[in-house]
Amino acid sequence: MAEADTVAPSESPTIRSIGAVHDRGFQTILSLKFNKANTAFPAPGSAAMANELARLDRVLPLVLGTVDIVTIGNEPFIESMPAQRDERLNAFYETVARHVIDARAELCGDDCATHLYLGALNRLDLPQNRTAAVERFLAFARETPEIEGVDLHPHVPDEARVQAFLDYTLPRLRADQTFLMTEFSLVWYWQEHMTDPVPAGFADRYGYAPDTQVWEVIGEAIEEPFPSRKWNDLLSESPWFEGKKHVLSDVMGQLRSTGRLAVATYGFAQIPSMTSGWSATKPPWLLNSVYASLTVQARGEAMSTPTYAWLEDFRRLQ
């Protein structure tokens, strides 16, 4: 949403791209991201809130009736100042949600093709994150008929923690509501293994000292992308990665077994923010991606190489 102050929404690369994808027959989801990490939430009725809603009114006519799902919010409990993650957060998102609901009714009527969700919730596997504000967030979703459910983002250290999200969230929604999972991964599990030594066979084959750590080799691939065989050898010979190569199927089985999954999506390509400032402690989001577009040599012009572990299950799950 912040982009709308500097780029006309009709010229926004995000909105133009999602419109083009829609025109090609694909279904689409757009999250409305309000980044308040460095600023307080405006109070309902204030001039600052009026500015927020005016900005929203420049975006909504371009997406309502076109985008299949609009998620109101991205990650509110991360994209906010910690001291503001209370009723002030709730009041802001409730005001925005009611405005979107009213705009949808006005712009495309009762049979509008765009479905509305609230999003997204993070680290609900940790009891300290199940706050009064989270409870109110879910209560608002439950009590607002036009909201069809919530988005969940479980980036967790093991698959069992995904179930914790579901066990906490679903009983707090209406029985007719569903959920999105537009992000999920085992990134914190990968993080635990960045300082492991590389596999002995890999070290011997590629000439690394036995005490070379995984993050150091990944850093080399960031600086000068590897041939796909070398990248895949690093991962497939690491038991902590190889043992999780069916995580997409495992998690999708969990989600579908609820009978209430609307949509799940998964990270497709590595992006520059995943590699900038690489270190032993930087979260290794790049290991999630289906395509190793930045750490593996391209197969030809504009042809990224898939990470061996994810592509087969990703295709089958379609």
pLDDT digit string, tens, across residues 69-101: 999 999 999 999 999 999 999 999 999 999 999
With a cut of 50, list the residues of the chain below it in pLDDT: none
The per-residue pLDDT for 302 is: 65
Per-domain residue ranges for the chain? 2-184, 189-246+267-318
Residue type, 65: G
pLDDT digit string, tens, across residues 99-118: 999 999 999 988 899 999 99
The per-residue pLDDT for 188 is: 97
d(CA 210, CA 239): 16
Selected from 3.90.930, 1.25.40, 3.30.70, 3.20.20, the CATH number assigned to the domain covering 2-184 reads 3.20.20
